[in-house]
């Protein structure tokens, strides 16, 4: 899809052209958070954006709105809507399409046999969900324009996420003829078309998540799925230089036994935070070494709980301008700690 | 049971009464690390322990001598300084092999076994990681437990959306294999051969016909054949599943929840505790992992920071800012821990700090021990 005139290409988040993006990664790395921030960021760049949650735990939309999200897209302000796709809803719709008679479809879907069938039939559930996403991405309005420029899918954690994107191909191979084969092939082509579909991998600057992200990336590429971007989430921006951290440790070691606990803690915090930054930087290097392009970065937000304002801030960090500032500050040396303070201030401002 | 430590801590006191510990929690919270750390610690205390681990970090697997998926227990060389008699074995779960073995053990004839193992729907379903993994961990547990070689078996669980997924896995497995809906498909006597089409004649013919319209004959037939092939072993498998399910309620079995200090995670732990209470299962406690190190609750004043040697104004300001940020998280975590302790009755609440460096080997695991024991 060509860039629409109303997009400012300079403003597109993560350098991503609008399309259907599956946000995935290991459990708890921030998939829902990044999905919500990415949706906001795209919307701000002028794209009509749909944020999609799937069956189960996904919760991206609830970060943006307290409203209950259902199978119909719910508007969340201008150019942004959210919906939740469950297997049952998707099955209902698919059955109506194929059987053409609503009563028949409803009769089928309410039959207990269906429940067992969908559990046992390999890939059937995934196919229904992907089929719905395909139809959303292809939907046009009465002027022939795409209804959605961008669709962001808060996808299940790693293992299951790969399964989801791989399933159409597996089904197409297992059942090469019949209506399911037609559907599987269409959906498979959709998930492998880099113009229509991409994956955003979310990772954390820690050993296991980075290793798993690199493995997952290889797996996806092997399957022919495009990894559109990798986001390294939760990076601490170092407030201290090596020398300052060393100085704080030395001072801490010299503190008398009866020193104020607040002073002791303050000094401990310096070496502790700096130590983590050093480890994180090493993991970031390891991640980038395994990627074609360096990972996009998102800062750790110091807040007891992420609120709507934090998501707005994260969505701004995802913009090209935000990324540029962050990258520079993570590089540290040149701008030094005062730039780091700016990131912390920006994150703090919103809380 | 075996040799006791001079003065067992609260956790080890509770673990002494158990033969099985299930470590549950959502993805990435630290289940594998905590399960392995507890297993190692109990082995060092002189018990014969086995840990069933799932997808451990490569280095941790290597440290435990698990170099590949082989579905066999491996003896782990214990560090010096443990109580005599203790031993540690580790096993890395391979769900596909465990599934195959269950089929092999329950099939009454070789033909029956081969028919199932050769079915392509079976191959797809048994190999996919989601869904069956939890149950297969329990299958392995069942076998090891029956072997009687261990005083304590610690079971790590696969990343789940909810801690309770583990509890539901036997029932999910039963429902999945259940013959009842199968009979919906099959007219009596229509067993052999061309199922899907014959079934169209039965009272459910219309429904099956509708289903066929949306899936095509092939998918319907293969899936039906798969379910039908399982019917022969359904009886013995469901007996096993019921035994496994009963293990949950045994006074010898305990559950440990692992969570992060984040709101959703803590709420889930409380819900998990409630569920276990309701079923009268033994809930040992919650491990809250990656807790912000405690803060004194007061801040160093400007004067105090200025008084430190060689700290200029800019550095003092940054130190102060860092202290405020970390203190806020520490106080959030403190109140989450208190809340958890309050809301989960007499269960233990154990906190492990977010370590600046987490080493994924035996020494790294041993470093967790002091926190486990408070
Ligand atoms: N950049 C960040 N700064 C601070 N906290 C964050 C950040 N990103 C995510 N979090 C917090 O981390 C936790 C996990 O995030 P999130 O729910 O987005 O992860 P997930 O990958 O969707 O998890 P799951 O696998 O359970 O669906 C949440 O409490 C969230 O608020
Ligand atoms: N307290 C801690 N401080 C720092 N790092 C930790 C801590 N606990 C665990 N980790 C690290 O976090 C990573 C994930 O831990 P672990 O594999 O135990 O989680 P898990 O719950 O088993 O994950 P999964 O759900 O994916 O199986 C590991 O690399 C581990 O070393
Ligand atoms: Mg999520
Ligand atoms: Mg694990």
The string of DSSP codes covering A227-294 is EEEEEEEEEPPP-S-HHHHHHHHHHHHH--TTS-HHHHHHHHHHHHHHHHHHHHHHHHHHHHHTSSSP
Using DSSP bridges, classify how beta strands A74-75 and A197-203 pair: parallel, antiparallel or unpaired: unpaired
Residue in B162, B264, B326 closest to A269 by CB: B326
Nearest CA in chain B to A255: B308
Which pLDDT band holds residue A345 (cuts at 50, 70, 90)?
low
Nearest CA in chain A to B265: A28
| A95 CB within 8 Å of a chain B CB | yes
Q: What is the mean pLDDT of residues B197-209?
A: 57
Which pLDDT band holds residue B297 (cuts at 50, 70, 90)?
confident
* A273: in domain: no
Summarize pLDDT for A192-206 with one digit per residue, the tens. Answer: 999 999 999 999 999
CATH of residue A215: 3.40.50.300
Residue B190 confidence (pLDDT): 42
Is B360 touching ligand 2 by the criterion CB < 6 Å?
Answer: yes
Nearest CA in chain B to A110: B207
Which residue, by CA, sits nearest to atom 16 of ligand 2? B30
Q: What is the mean pLDDT of residues A222-236?
A: 94
For ligand 1, pick from A28, A318, A344 the residue to mutate: most ligand atoms within 8 Å of CB: A28
Locate A202 and state its tokens.
């979310």
Residue B184 confidence (pLDDT): 56
Q: What is the mean pLDDT of residues B233-250?
A: 86
Separation of B35 CA from ligand 4 center, angstroms? Answer: 9
Which pLDDT band holds residue A245 (cuts at 50, 70, 90)?
very high
Which residue, by CA, sits nearest to atom 24 of ligand 1? A28
The per-residue pLDDT of chain B, averaged, comes to: 84
pLDDT of A14 > 90? The answer is: no
Residue B6 confidence (pLDDT): 43
* DSSP three-state, residue B232: helix
* A260: in domain: no
| A181 CB within 8 Å of a chain B CB | yes
Residue A6 confidence (pLDDT): 61
- Residue B81 DSSP code: T
Summarize pLDDT for B82-117 with one digit per residue, the tens. Answer: 888 999 999 998 888 888 988 898 888 999 999 889
Is A159 touching ligand 1 by the criterion CB < 6 Å?
Answer: no
Residue in B28, B161, B185 closest to A113 by CB: B185
pLDDT of B176 > 70? The answer is: yes
Q: Give residue A187's domain range.
A: 14-238+294-349
Summarize pLDDT for B115-130 with one digit per residue, the tens. Answer: 889 888 888 778 765 5
Residue in A121, A158, A209 closest to B223 by CB: A121
So where are chain B's domains? 10-175+250-296+326-372
Is B55 touching ligand 2 by the criterion CB < 6 Å?
Answer: yes
Residue in A175, A263, A337 closest to B219 by CB: A175
* A61: in domain: yes
Is B157 touching ligand 1 by the criterion CB < 6 Å?
Answer: no
Mark yes or no for CB contact A269/B219 under 8 Å: no
What does CATH list as the number for B10-175+250-296+326-372? 3.40.50.300
Residue B131 confidence (pLDDT): 64
A240 vs B361 pLDDT, higher one: A240
* A265: in domain: no
Summarize pLDDT for B4-48 with one digit per residue, the tens. Answer: 344 567 899 999 999 999 999 988 899 999 999 999 999 999 999
> What residues contact residue A175 under an 8 Å CB cut-off, 6+ apart?
A181, A184, B216, B218, B219, B222
| Domains contained in chain A, number | 1
* A194: in domain: yes
* A8: in domain: no
pLDDT of B197 > 80? The answer is: no
**How much of chain A, in percent, has pLDDT values that exceed 70?**
89
Summarize pLDDT for A140-164 with one digit per residue, the tens. Answer: 999 988 999 999 999 887 665 567 8
Locate A168 and state its tokens.
């159409």
Interface test with B, best of A104, A107, A122, A280 (most B CBs within 10 A): A122
Segment 258-297 of chain A within 8 Å of chain B by CB = 260-270, 272-273, 275-276, 279
pLDDT of B181 > 50? The answer is: yes
Which pLDDT band holds residue B194 (cuts at 50, 70, 90)?
very low
| A110 CB within 8 Å of a chain B CB | no
In terms of Cβ atoms closer than 10 Å to its own Cβ (0-12, 13-18, 19+), residue B239 is exposed
Residue A7 confidence (pLDDT): 65
Which pLDDT band holds residue A121 (cuts at 50, 70, 90)?
confident
**What SS3 string covers B203-230?**
CCHHHHHHHHHHHCHHHHHHHHHHHHHH
- Residue A277: closest CA among A346, A211, A333: A333
ipTM: 0.85
Mark yes or no for CB contact A263/B260 under 8 Å: no
Mark yes or no for CB contact B300/A266 under 8 Å: yes
Q: A with B: how many residue pairs have Cβ under 8 Å apart?
A: 212
Interhelix angle A158-174/B120-127, nearest 10 degrees: 170
Which residue, by CA, sits nearest to atom 29 of ligand 1? B262
**How much of chain A, in percent, has pLDDT values that exceed 90?**
55
Distances in Å between the Cα of B217 and the Cα atoms of A180, B184, B223 are 9, 16, 10
Residue B204 confidence (pLDDT): 57
In terms of Cβ atoms closer than 10 Å to its own Cβ (0-12, 13-18, 19+), residue B352 is buried
């Amino acid at each position: 899809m060509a860039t629409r005139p109303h997009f400012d290409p300079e403003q597109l988040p993560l350098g991503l052209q609008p399309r259907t993006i599956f946000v995935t990664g290991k459990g708890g790395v921030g998939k829902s958070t990044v999905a919500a921030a990415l949706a906001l960021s795209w919307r701000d760049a002028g794209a009509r954006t749909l944020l999609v949650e799937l069956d189960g735990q996904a919760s991206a939309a609830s970060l943006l709105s307290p409203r209950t999200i259902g199978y119909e897209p719910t508007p969340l302000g201008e150019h942004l809507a959210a919906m939740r796709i469950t297997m049952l809803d998707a099955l209902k719709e698919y059955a109506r399409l194929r059987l053409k008679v609503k009563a028949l479809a409803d009769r089928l879907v309410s039959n207990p046999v269906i429940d067992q069938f969908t559990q046992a039939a390999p890939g059937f559930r995934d196919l229904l969900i992907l089929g719905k996403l395909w139809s959303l991405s292809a939907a046009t309005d009465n002027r022939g324009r795409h209804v959605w420029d961008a669709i962001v899918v808060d996808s299940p954690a790693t293992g299951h996420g790969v399964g989801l994107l791989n399933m159409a191909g597996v089904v197409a191979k297992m059942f090469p003829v019949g209506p399911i084969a037609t559907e599987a092939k269409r959906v498979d082509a959709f998930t492998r078309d880099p113009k229509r579909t991409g994956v955003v991998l979310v990772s954390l600057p820690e050993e296991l998540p980075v290793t798993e992200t690199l493995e997952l990336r290889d797996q996806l590429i092997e399957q022919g799925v495009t990894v559109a971007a990798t986001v390294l989430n939760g990076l601490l921006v170092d407030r201290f230089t090596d020398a300052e951290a060393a100085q704080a440790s030395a001072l801490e070691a010299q503190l008398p036994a009866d020193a104020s606990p607040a002073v002791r803690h303050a000094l401990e915090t310096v070496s502790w935070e700096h130590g983590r930054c050093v480890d994180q930087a090493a993991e970031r290097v390891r991640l980038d070494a395994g990627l074609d392009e360096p990972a996009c970065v998102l800062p750790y937000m110091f807040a007891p709980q992420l609120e709507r304002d934090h998501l707005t801030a994260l969505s701004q960090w995802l913009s090209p301008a935000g990324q540029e500032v962050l990258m520079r500050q993570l590089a540290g040396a040149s701008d030094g700690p005062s730039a780091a303070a700016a990131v912390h201030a920006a994150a703090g401002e919103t809380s | 049971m075996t040799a006791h430590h001079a003065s067992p801590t609260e956790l080890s006191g509770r673990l002494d009464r158990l033969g099985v510990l299930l470590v549950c929690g959502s993805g990435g919270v630290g289940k594998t690390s905590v399960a392995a750390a507890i297993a190692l610690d109990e082995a060092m205390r002189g018990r014969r322990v086995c840990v069933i681990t799932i997808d451990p970090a490569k280095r941790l697997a290597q440290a435990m001598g698990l170099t590949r998926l082989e579905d066999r227990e491996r003896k782990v060389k214990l560090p010096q300084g443990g109580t005599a008699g203790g031993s540690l074995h580790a096993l890395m779960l391979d769900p596909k092999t465990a599934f195959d073995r269950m089929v092999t053990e329950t099939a009454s004839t070789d033909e029956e076994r081969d028919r199932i193992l050769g079915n392509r729907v079976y191959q797809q379903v048994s190999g996919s990681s989601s869904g069956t993994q939890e149950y297969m961990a329990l299958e392995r547990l069942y076998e090891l437990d029956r072997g009687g070689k261990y005083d304590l078996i610690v079971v790590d669980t696969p990343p789940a959306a909810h801690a309770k997924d583990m509890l539901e896995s036997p029932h999910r497995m039963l429902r999945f294999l259940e013959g009842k809906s199968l009979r919906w498909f099959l007219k009596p006597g229509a067993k052999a051969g061309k199922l899907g089409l014959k079934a169209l004649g039965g009272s459910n013919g219309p429904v099956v016909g509708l289903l066929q319209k949306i899936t095509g004959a092939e998918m319907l037939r293969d899936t039906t054949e798969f379910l039908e092939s399982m019917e022969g072993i359904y009886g013995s498998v469901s007996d096993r599943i019921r035994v496994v399910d009963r293990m949950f309620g045994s006074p010898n079995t305990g559950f440990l929840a692992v969570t992060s200090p984040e709101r959703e995670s803590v709420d889930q732990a409380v819900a998990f505790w409630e569920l276990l209470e309701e079923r009268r299962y033994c809930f040992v406690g919650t491990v809250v992992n990656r807790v912000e190190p405690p803060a004194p609750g007061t801040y160093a004043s400007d004067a105090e920071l200025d008084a430190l040697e060689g700290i200029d104004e800019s550095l003092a300001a940054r130190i102060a800012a860092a202290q405020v940020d970390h203190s806020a998280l520490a106080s959030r975590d403190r109140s989450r821990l208190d809340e958890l302790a309050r809301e989960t009755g007499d269960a233990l609440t154990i906190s492990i700090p977010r370590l600046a460096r987490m080493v994924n080997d035996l020494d790294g695991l041993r470093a967790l021990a002091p926190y486990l024991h408070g």
